[in-house]
A and B are shown apart, each in its own frame.
Chain A
Amino acid sequence: MNLAAAARLQWTSARRAVWSGGRPRRGMVAIVLSLLMAGAFAVTFVVLFEALESAGAPAEARVRVLGWAFTFAFVLLALGDLLTVVSAAATAPDLERLLAAPIRPRELLLLKFMDTLPRTLGPVVAIALPAALCYAAANAGVQPALAAVALATLWAVPLALGTALAIPLLRVAPAARLRESIAVLATLAFLGGWLANTFWMPRLLAGADITARLRSVPPLPAWSPATWAAEALALPGERGLEALAACVAASLGALVLAFGIAERMLTRLQPAAAPAPGTIVRGSSRRAATLTGAFLRRDRALFTRDWPVLLDLAARLLLWTLLPLAVLPLTPMPPAELVRAMLVALTLSLGNDIGTRALPLERHALAWARLSPVGGARWLARRALGVGALAAGILLAASLLAGAALRLPPAGILDAFGFAMPAGATALGFGLLIGTLLADPEWRDPRAMLGPGGRTVSALVMLTQGAVWVSASHALGPGPVGTGWLVTLGFCGALVTFVLLVITARTLERREYTAR
């Protein structure tokens, strides 16, 4: 194989994904998002390491914090890389061609490593690099070469181990199922990391006695490449060198293992073509009595049978609802306002995660909205009814739970629910419109039913909306909102939602379905 030519081709292809024809392409959005994420993590790490330095925390404690940051990145990288390798095998259109080509399996793996480099490098740039740079800025004496080795370890080991694990797994399980299971694991890992970051970090940094609280930070696992990377970067002298040697050995060992497994098993892999086996379900060929009933029956089946989507949804709803609790140490809030803030945060998730996905979930079958005599407007009305009922149920349950936990009286719970309803309706309205305009019907990851641009637009719209509703809640004071304001807000919310639904219906009516 002509490695230089292959690398040149990959480079050209990657470059064109970012910039071609004199204008930015879809890949640019991923770069901007990675940089934004890196910026957000950098802010966290700057605050964290400066707090540790000003508190005079011992070097060991700082290394421990850096090690945990690297561990979080490592776990996400390991799951992400496993997912990338499985996806590259399951969905890459070129795998069958490459398997048939006269190249050695290890060369094929090298090509795939080059092909997936932008995806596998992303989390290193977004999480581990800011952690290392911020640590170096706050602590003198960090050598750039050591930082480079540490970061290379965090890239190479998860990728090589992910590959070594994915290839045998793909021989025994259908790629589609495997991909779903790993996506769920990645969601849970992100959930764990987010909860730790949201609840543990602010409490760790709050108050004066930070050194005492650092003692509660669990020690780093001794046999972890993330630990070795942190120690190689931060510890001076012999211990640092030992950690550096461990990093190099781990990287080389993992790569040798991955290429060895590829050499033995890669050619026997069943690529993309193998479909998921399908599930036996008990359905009836008798139609529902009404069109609305048929839509509700179908929606229930689509949602409940797509368990990666369902689990991802549940995790996101929980995370958003709990978000206001994270700022409590910084901005104390009275219970009624806190419940309203939690419900507003939940409505953002309802819009961003349910509203935007409602139509993309149908993939290319959405063409029935134009092909059948139902028409786009009636189609949307039924879809909106389904997601609206689901969202209202979730909002009601969340109001009852949050209200009861914060000891609001029944009237207070009802007041908070009444406040959240128009916020939820407008969020769903925006979500349905964004989902109709910016969906990617070929989505493979349930977290990415919109393209990168769509996700960015959705996040910005939802955050703007959240800011408006939280400001309104704050302006209305610490107690209940009251009937007058609830009616006013309800009317405004209904009006905005109606306008959004009309625009969405027109978009759906005019949407064209070209050949794929």
Chain B
Amino acid sequence: MTVAGARPLSIDALTRRFGTVTAVSALSLEVRAGEIVGFLGANGAGKTTTLRCASGLLAPDAGRIEVAGADLEREPRVAKARLGLVPDRPFLYDRLSAREFLAFVAALYDLPADAAARRAEELLARLGLAEHADRTIEGYSLGMRQKAAIAAALLHSPPLLLLDEPLNGLDPPAARLLKDLLREHARAGGGVLVSTHLLDVAERLCDRVVILRAGRVVAEGTLASLRGGRADRSLEDVFMELDGGER
């Protein structure tokens, strides 16, 4: 999973504009091996744009992105093979079953057939999709669709996992399972960047958080450092202060 000596994600001075609006401005961040980083910010802060730039779905206007040592602009195929993305709304084929979809994704990432099939079955079973795996995805609930997207992102065991609001639509057991999967991924040496609105989730799951406001990083660090030595302050308190106070 890991690429020796390389950080799973390194973003340097990323800027992305949409017309006259600057969604992300000179943003730099890193995700280290074995680390889960929470990506926090109000609506429109630039979280999704950053994740989409980091996954190659959007081209940056300026800045440099490296995924597990591979430059996304100069070596896009190498970089993309080293990351998995769970988007805010999954990219699925409604007329394929989850099993067929994972087989197709395995071909996209050129995974060995036997190992990929075993991994797909393992993920389907762990995510509770095994008994629905032969049903076409059009019949899936929101949570099941999210699980199929998570399975696709984990299938090739990438060094970097990017997740955009991954708990959307998941019931409590599935949310718990996802958190376990992310911790396992980090323990195995992978890096995780997860954007979420759920501050309590970030507080319990993440080793470090990055707080974004108007496309810029306004705070970054471990929970303890962000609390500034005051154990009574929650992440919510910190977030509200940084995001402009009580609203």
Give A contacts to B, CB under 8 Å. Answer: 176, 275-291, 293-295, 297-298, 301-302, 305-306, 362-368, 370-375, 510, 512-516
Contacts and interface: CB of A to CB of B under 8 A. Distances in A.
A516 B88 CA distance: 9
Interface residues of B, number: 53
Contacts of A374: 108
A298 B137 CA distance: 14
Interface string B54-98: 011111000000000000000011101100010111011111110
A291 B97 CA distance: 19
Contact of A372 (B78, B103, B109, B139): B109
A276 B145 CA distance: 14
A287 B113 contact: yes
Contacts of A297: 100, 104
Contacts of A282: 134
Contact of B80 (A279, A301, A373, A514): A373
B185 interface: no
B9 to A, nearest CB: 15
A362 B93 contact: yes
A286 B135 contact: no
A368 B95 contact: no
Nearest to A374: B108
Contact of B96 (A288, A302, A366): A302
Contact of B103 (A277, A283, A305, A367): A283
B65 to A, nearest CB: 14
A9 to B, nearest CB: 26
Interface in B199-226: none
Given A287-B113, A294-B104, A371 B95 contact: no
A291 to B, nearest CB: 5
Given A279-B135, A279-B136, A281-B134, A375 B100 contact: no
B57 A288 contact: no
B137 to A, nearest CB: 7
B77 A514 contact: no
12 contacts: A275-B139, A277-B139, A280-B136, A283-B103, A287-B104, A291-B108, A305-B95, A371-B55, A372-B109, A373-B78, A373-B108, A515-B88
Given A275-B139, A275-B140, A515-B89, 10 more contacts: A277-B139, A283-B99, A285-B133, A286-B116, A294-B107, A363-B93, A370-B57, A372-B109, A373-B77, A514-B18
A364 B91 contact: yes
B168 interface: no
B103 A288 contact: yes
Interface of B: 18, 48-49, 52, 55-59, 76-78, 80-81, 85, 87-89, 91-97, 99-100, 102-111, 113-114, 116-117, 120-121, 124, 133-141
A164 B171 CA distance: 38
Contact of B89 (A283, A285, A364): A364
A473 to B, nearest CB: 38
Given A278-B137, A279-B135, A285-B121, A513 B99 contact: no
A363 B89 CA distance: 12
Nearest to A293: B107
B97 A281 contact: yes
Contacts of A302: 93, 95-96
A375 B58 CA distance: 14
Contacts of A305: 95, 136
A516 B87 CA distance: 10
Given A275-B139, A294-B107, A371-B55, A286 B117 contact: yes
Contact of A285 (B18, B80, B117): B117
A513 B139 contact: no
B79 to A, nearest CB: 8
A302 B94 CA distance: 9
A294 B103 contact: yes
A141 B111 CA distance: 77
Contacts of B88: 515-516
Nearest to A367: B91
A282 B110 CA distance: 23
Nearest to B145: A275
A285 B120 contact: yes
A367 B97 CA distance: 18
A275 B141 CA distance: 8
B55 to A, nearest CB: 6
